[in-house]
Structure 1
């Protein structure tokens, strides 16, 4: 576990008001962190962020609706000034870490601001779930379960087949009302300046300043040469030789020969995208830039092509990013202002597809983008090594990145998540996780209507199985083990049996949160009994 994750766990265990008092915060860090979890300099930097008011200023901006990147950038600049330090990048990293610890900055953003530091893993956070089933079923605090079972063969990812009727019981009562508003995703107006972890396009070479003596010599040579040229010109005119006149009066062609496409030059110009963007490339040539593009380079390598683009403005880069990113089935998307990542695997929707896999990423600081496209027959998994080879400045998400999804997972004690390509069109993200050793898929939709449609599928399957589980859940905010008038329904719960291609039957428990637009699907170990899964979460 990295330092920002350890601070998140600290805030959950001791209360996030801890971050408002510098002395208490310092004492908690000394007690909570191992000796090698963070350097003394990093701890001092974090404490100074609280002591000097930069953290409070950032929280104030975020609570007023400011973009997280902008709030971190401005508060980080203030912290660096107040400390009399030139390390603005380190100051922004400290503010991002504290923002993550209070649930207002994403993991992806923290990693973008990260500076060199020595952080060792800390114990994982383990807070209680804050939810209850409807009246009549007692509340509980689920605890993390054991690792995945090695018994029955694992189920495939969530699908919606029809399943035969299975006897069961029905529980719960209907109800509907809006719950708490979920936290939004990132992507507001661009923050000023550049961010930690990002380079810049190579600066243009400065013009050389020559000694005045040399300038005088050049002028004298031009004067003498001009006189000689005039005499020759006059002689040629008297001979009436038009050909000689044309040859003597010709000038050297000084037209632009195009951008330097050598690997060394490209690595220098596109360092905002990766340490060595030409790694593994066979050849690179200049391509015709489109409207809003200053430069376009096309490179080839055995698995496909790489296109590097420099844009004329931030707005043009954002427009290009918007055109590329989508939520088609088979995508992994990380969309933050400082740099986006997009991966598309066409075989997710159709295993027999011969479509083109794509990996795209960009840099707001460098105003540049890169796109890898696989050749015919190349899979997305085969394209991944090409991305890894360039040491890209963008880190692909390895788990859930949406803060609302993270809160939803915490409520139901979902752990050990790995990001996967989305299984349903319209999902912004999907991860395969664990809950009490059971495989559990967690996802989020961009639109509430898409989640409603997904919910209807689960409800239909539950009805086909004689309503084994039909219920809803709410947040017991006052912990009185009953639903009050100001504690509306938060989401639906359905259980059904899913038959795999192998013939095995798995019990599936579906739970969603309409405000978050997210859901989970939990599979048993082949017992075909979703009621046991329900009792596991709501004992």
Structure 2
């Protein structure tokens, strides 16, 4: 019997109360599970999911109308952060298993994250179900359906074979599950909109590489989106019009043409082709790189350029961005974001009205794509420090901003996040800024609930800035295991929506509160 089925049977027999106490839950698992049903790593994950209260916010999200798969991603991100690790997929698996055990999550969502549970006890990356219709239970039969027969051509009156028209997909169409932020997915009250640390979720399709066009200083050719006749899909109706071949572009010539983006844009590129520009584009070139593809675009005017930049940026988990007006940079790490979307690096130049998009293919990681980006000697650099002035002001309240380093976000809705060093090596701190006050307050509600449920509470309550009204939350507590002391604080001042989370993994709550006095 599968592990998630065992837990569901236990809940049906003994009630949901067995998931209320982490220590008792571990004892139950040790008693009932066979050695081949779960590794120590699996059990630790599930016990931590109980300890950190995954089920309540997960259930609230689903009861509030959230899709179970999305709710599981959010809960998994939160759990990963609370555990101080970065395996969001494994944490989502644990959230899905507990959700299934109480009847809140369909089996198909559990199977999305199902682990082969190797001897090491570490969960491998999940098997991701294809996007599409809502999750449903697997079909009764265990046998896969027979593959469909290949389309049989019909004979048109002219005698030419045809299988009907087939249109190429729009390379900029986002998947149905994506909701752009801000204004996108917002979990219901009781659970933070952000996903958890080492964490992820939010979805945006990095623009697929359409066939494109440019030569020297002007457009000179057309290439079909299908790749110029190499499309392995259904055959298209033959046309009596001669096909215009794709226009090849000398890679070295791109260094001058796109010199405002990078001094060596041609580094590592091969097979560059020009194609037909889209709306608002005057020139487009695509090239192959070792990690995937490079797409270069020149826009017709400022409006088209601004629209393209705006469409590229989003606030899903796993992103890092910088925009100073003249140039902008955007990165997406699917591992941290918890999706199967490609790794992406985008950068642009407002003066030249040009952009570059590196999109990973296959198993290309964000580190590999960033290495391709760096090899071009780009005119734009990755941000290394907190950027928003209000967030910097927030950090300076009790930390040295020079000791904070930017990282890709872990929570949906964050505009930026950084990790900060402290004078106490036992304290780990993360700070970030949300795009809206609502998102920050959802985060506050989550930590307030953890504080209320904690057996050992710190100073708690709220804290003030100067003589003004209460403008932020402050919650300090020790988890039920006694291993992790946590302080959460935030500032919902206009244009800040900032938060900080500090942890001590030796359970020293007093020391943690002395490090950050609540009467600041």
TM-score by length of 1: 0.49
Tell me, what secondary structure is at the counterpart of 2:461? Answer: strand
Structure 1: gaps of 5 or more residues: 1-153, 163-200, 206-255, 477-483
Cα distance between partner residues in 2 of 1:272 and 1:504: 55
Residue aligning to 2:299: 311
Per-residue CA distance 1:16-51 (angstroms, 9 max, x = gap): xxxxxxxxxxxxxxxxxxxxxxxxxxxxxxxxxxxx
Q: Which of the residues 316, 335, 351 maps onto 1:347? A: 335
CA distance, structure 2, for counterparts of residue 203 and residue 392 of structure 1:
21
Q: How does 1:352-431 map to 2 (within 5 A)?
A: 353-415=339-401, 416-431=403-418
2:503 is the counterpart of 1:523 = yes
Residues 27-176 of structure 1: pairs in structure 2 closer than 5 A: 155-156=84-85
Match of 1:61 in 2: none
Deviations 1:53-73 (A, max 9, x none): xxxxxxxxxxxxxxxxxxxxx
Give the superposition deviation at 1:488.
1.9
1:530 and 1:414 map into 2 onto residues whose CA distance is 22
Deviations 1:71-98 (A, max 9, x none): xxxxxxxxxxxxxxxxxxxxxxxxxxxx
Task: Report if aligned partners of 1:202, 1:268 keep a CA contact under 8 Å in 2.
Answer: no
Q: Does 1:325 align with 2:324?
A: no
Tell me, in whole angstroms, the C-alpha distance in 1 between the residues paired with 2:482 and 2:84. Answer: 9
Determine the structure 2 residue equivalent to 1:463. Answer: 452
Q: Distance in 1 between matches of 2:290 and 2:390?
A: 41
Whole-Å Cα distance in 2 between the matches of residues 269 and 277 of structure 1?
9
How far the C-alpha of 1:309 sits from its partner, in A, is 0.3
Deviations 1:480-538 (Å, cap 9, x if unpaired)? Answer: xxxx4xx2223110113358xxx8822111110011100111111x2223343122221
Alignment of 1:484-523 (within 5 A): 484=467, 487-498=468-479, 505-515=483-493, 516-523=496-503
Find the structure with the greater CA-based Rg: 1
Q: Residues 315, 498 of structure 1: CA spacing in aligned structure 2 closer, same or farther, 3 A cutoff?
A: farther
Measured against aligned partners, the alpha-carbon deviations of 1:239-296 in whole angstroms (never above 9, x if no partner) come to xxxxxxxxxxxxxxxxx99977212221111001000111011221012210000011
Residue 533 of structure 1 corresponds to 512
Q: Counterpart of 2:279 in 1: which secondary structure? A: coil
User: Is the Cα–Cα contact under 8 Å of residues 493 and 510 in structure 1 kept in the other structure?
Assistant: yes
Distance in 2 (CA, whole Å) between partners of 1:453 and 1:460 is: 11
Find the residue that maps to 2:396 and give its secondary structure.
helix
Matched, 1:442 2:371: no
Query: For residues 395 and 358 of structure 2, what CA distance do their matches in structure 1 show?
Result: 33
RMSD, matched Cα:
2.9
Residue matched to 1:280: 268
SS at match of 2:490: strand
Distance in 2, Cα, partners of 1:518 & 1:158: 25
Is the deviation greater in 386-395 or in 414-423?
414-423
Cross-structure match for 1:106: none
CA distance in 1, matches of 2:245, 2:257: 17
Task: Name the SS of the counterpart of 1:279 in structure 2.
Answer: coil
Greater fraction helix: 1
For residues 421 and 253 of structure 2, what CA distance do their matches in structure 1 show? 47
Please say if residues 485 and 506 of structure 2, whose CA atoms lie closer than 8 Å, have aligned partners that are also in contact: yes
Q: Tell me if structure 1 keeps the 8 A contact 2:215–2:274.
A: no
Alpha-carbon distance in 1 for matches of 2:488, 2:327: 34
Selected match of 2:462 from 472, 488, 504: 472
Query: Which residue in 2 is equivalent to 1:271?
Result: 259
Task: Give unpaired runs (5+ residues) of structure 2.
Answer: 1-82, 96-213, 219-243
Q: Match of 1:433?
A: 420
Mapped to 2, the partners of 1:530 and 1:504 lie a distance apart of 9
| Map of 1:246 onto structure 2 | none
* 2-structure distance, mates of 1:414, 1:428: 20
Return closer, same or farther for 1:314/1:504 CA change in 2, 3 Å cut-off. Answer: farther
- Provide the C-alpha distance between the structure 1 equivalents of 2:370 and 2:355, rounded to a whole number of angstroms: 17
**Alpha carbons of structure 1 residues 412 and 259: separation in structure 2 relative to 1, 3 Å:** farther
Q: Distance in 2 between matches of 1:404 and 1:498?
A: 31
Kindly indicate whether the alpha-carbon contact (under 8 Å) linking 1:155 and 1:506 is maintained by their aligned counterparts in 2.
no
Contact 1:469 1:531 in 2 (8 A): no
- 1:203–1:404: structure 2 CA closer, same or farther, 3 Å change rule? farther
Asked if the contact 1:495–1:531 (Cα under 8 Å) also holds between the matched residues in 2, the reply is: no
Please say if residues 341 and 396 of structure 1, whose CA atoms lie closer than 8 Å, have aligned partners that are also in contact: yes
Partner of 1:92: none
Aligned length: 283
